[in-house]
Amino acid sequence: MERRISEADWKVFREVRVSALDRFCEHVLSEAGRLVAETGQSSHQRYLAVFKLIERMDKKLGDTFDDPRRSTALLQLMLMRSQDLLTEEEFARFSSETRATVQGVLESFFA
């Protein structure tokens, strides 16, 4: 997706990206803690489960948050929205055009 977002939306994106990244990491750490606490598995099994989780989530983190640019912000915003990493208040800060584009693509993709 090569469409650039407006300068105003770019400023909002840079701000909400920080909170979304924190939520993403909190989710991963919570899931890792749950895997570590599983008592029915050996230490090695739990280690492997955590390793696989981190490996899988690192790819998702990279796609969603790495190298933010205006040319990729819309795609990254869609990824954040599809993973429920933005609050409604944060999403509402974007222009109606950007919100409509994100919602339209996500609705057609997940329909």
Burial 71-82 (b: 16+ CB within 10 A, else e): ebbbbbbbbbbe
Rounded to an integer, the average pLDDT of 24-28 is: 98
CB atoms under 10 Å from CB of 61, counted, come to: 15
96-103: long-range contacts, CB 8 A cutoff, minimum separation 24: 97/6, 98/5, 98/6, 98/9, 98/74, 101/3, 101/74, 102/74, 102/77, 102/78
Q: Domain ranges for the chain, please list them.
A: 7-110
pLDDT digits (tens, 9 = 90+) for 38-62: 889 999 999 999 999 999 999 999 9
The predicted structure's pLDDT at residue 108: 87
